[in-house]
Amino acid sequence: MTHHVDRIGDVLGNAFPQCQHPDTEVRYKTFSNGTKHLCTQCLICGEKTDGSRWLPGAGIDLAALKPFDESLGQQYRVAIERRRIASLASERRRRHEEYEEYIRNSPDWQAIRTKVMRRDDYLCQACMEAAASDVHHRNYTHLFDEVLYDLVAVCRSCHAKIHGKL
């Protein structure tokens, strides 16, 4: 039975890795029942990095220690989320630049574009009135290896409407 518990502990330890940051400080944490426990808090992510120990008159001057700061964890999560959002925005810009380069300069795209314009008789398939000037991707599932079914000829005005730019 012990072996099974050890394996579960290993699995949980891998699923929820403990803090590995180097900056920690011994602090005290007050629990809902009023007891105070010593613990080590990471000053970067705010996690408790070891087990807590109850201090029933252990002769430790709590006034010399700072209380456990619950806000550190929230601040860390906010900073991580900001970095994640910035990284996603950067990746989105990079992919858009790659897409724009493909649309402007790829002979493969030019051949596909010509086929779509011919198929749609150079008529906007959105309004069925204006001459088509653009080829719109209905989706980007096959980007850089498009299937003609995913593309449609449209006029500039309808293309702007489709993309919500009007």
pLDDT, tens digit (0-9, with 9 covering 90-100), for 43-97: 999 988 876 666 655 667 777 889 999 999 999 999 999 999 999 999 999 999 9
**Distance from C-alpha of 150 to C-alpha of 144, rounded to nearest angstrom:** 12
Give the β-pairing of 24-30 and 66-67: parallel
Distance CA 70, CA 90 (A): 31
pTM of the entire predicted model: 0.58
Tokens 């314009």, located at residue? 117
Q: What is the pLDDT of residue 35?
A: 83
Nearest to 117 by CA among 108, 127, 128, 125: 125
In Å, the largest CA–CA distance within the chain is: 89
